[in-house]
């Protein structure tokens, strides 16, 4: 264990240490049932049974006080809502365990969130857990905050637990996931593109180009070249 890791372990509050320990221990017992569901292409109802167990046994929610199912939103029904003190703070949309989560599924739960004024959206098929933050406005802004796949063997169990920690009742209720969202939103590709094309960065880039090559490039031309040859077009608008 590194000195930095040891320091974090020493300074973390007791509730966090206990939550992380529970998370790591309980995640292990769901690996096999989840793999079995996928192997037999279980239906959406069976997937929901496993998701309920993960929400309660792994993430620590009380199924009677913290969760609500089939939440009615203008004639439609959200699969789950997470609620604290009778206030829904997140919607969860569950898809069949072998279904690949897509933008279409996100748009479905986005509609529920916009209509109810809910800022957190969660998509899952039992294995993949995707978390999004919604900011109302015209247009609505949606940022992906977490993307964890419990069946991804290329990712260590500890890294999966570290990411999923922010979905635990203990952490989510303390709104710690907001800091994760702010950090990821600040370094999103479109934000980085804006920084690269800002006047101050272009000015420094012109100086460095002149120092290295002796060429003087107009700031507008440099910005255009960065947009066309360095950045993806959709990020450079």
For residues 216 and 173, state if they share a domain: no
Residue 83 lies in domain? 3-177
pLDDT in tens, 34-71: 999 999 999 999 999 999 999 999 999 999 999 999 99
Q: Which of the four pLDDT bands, split at 50, 70 and 90, describes residue 193?
A: confident
R_g (Cα) of the chain, nearest Å:
22
For residues 11 and 50, state if they share a domain: yes
CB 133 within 8 A of CB 176: no
| Torsion of Cα atoms, 70 then 72 then 77 then 79, to 10° | -40
* Res. 230: pLDDT tops 70: yes
> In terms of pLDDT, which residue wins out, 191 or 145?
145
For residues 45 and 135, state if they share a domain: yes
* Res. 132: pLDDT tops 90: yes
What value does the mean pLDDT of the chain take? 88
What pLDDT is stored for residue 10 in this prediction? 58
Instruction: Give domain status of residue 182, yes or no.
Output: no
For residues 173 and 200, state if they share a domain: no
CB 47 within 8 A of CB 126: yes
* Res. 1: pLDDT tops 60: no
Instruction: Give domain status of residue 198, yes or no.
Output: yes
For residues 41 and 141, state if they share a domain: yes
89-103, 136-150, 194-208, 218-232, range with greatest mean pLDDT: 89-103
User: How many domains does the chain contain in total?
Assistant: 2
CATH of residue 130: 3.90.1570
For residues 48 and 151, state if they share a domain: yes
Instruction: Give domain status of residue 183, yes or no.
Output: no
pLDDT in tens, 76-108: 899 999 999 999 999 999 999 999 999 999 999
For residues 8 and 105, state if they share a domain: yes
What are the strands of the beta sheet with 141-149, ordered from one edge? 67-73, 76-84, 87-94, 120-124, 128-135, 141-149
For residues 171 and 199, state if they share a domain: no
- Interval 139-149 mean pLDDT: 93
> In terms of pLDDT, which residue wins out, 61 or 210?
61
What pLDDT is stored for residue 199 in this prediction? 82
What pLDDT is stored for residue 165 in this prediction? 97
For residues 199 and 146, state if they share a domain: no
Instruction: Give domain status of residue 184, yes or no.
Output: no
Q: Which of the four pLDDT bands, split at 50, 70 and 90, describes residue 201?
A: confident
């Amino acid at each position: 264990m590194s000195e930095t890791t040891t320091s974090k372990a020493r300074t973390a509050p007791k509730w966090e240490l206990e939550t992380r320990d529970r998370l790591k221990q309980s995640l292990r017992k769901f690996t096999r049932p989840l793999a079995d569901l996928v192997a037999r292409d279980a239906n959406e109802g069976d997937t929901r049974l496993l998701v309920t167990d993960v929400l309660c046994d792994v993430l620590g929610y009380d199924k009677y006080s913290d969760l609500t199912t089939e939440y009615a939103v203008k004639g439609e029904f959200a699969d789950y809502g997470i609620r604290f003190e009778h206030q829904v703070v997140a919607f969860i949309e569950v898809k069949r365990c072998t279904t690949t989560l897509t933008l279409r599924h996100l748009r479905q739960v986005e509609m529920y969130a916009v209509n109810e004024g809910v800022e957190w959206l969660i998509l899952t098929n039992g294995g993949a857990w995707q978390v999004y933050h919604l900011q109302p406005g015209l247009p609505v802004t949606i940022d992906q905050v977490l993307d964890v796949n419990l069946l991804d063997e290329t990712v260590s169990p500890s890294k999966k637990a570290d990411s999923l920690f922010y979905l635990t009742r203990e952490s989510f209720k303390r709104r710690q996931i907001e800091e994760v969202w702010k950090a990821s939103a600040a370094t999103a590709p479109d934000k980085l593109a804006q920084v690269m094309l800002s006047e101050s960065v272009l000015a420094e880039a012109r100086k460095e180009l002149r120092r290295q090559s002796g060429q003087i490039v107009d700031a507008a031309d440099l910005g255009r070249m960065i947009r066309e040859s360095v950045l993806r077009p959709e990020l450079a608008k």
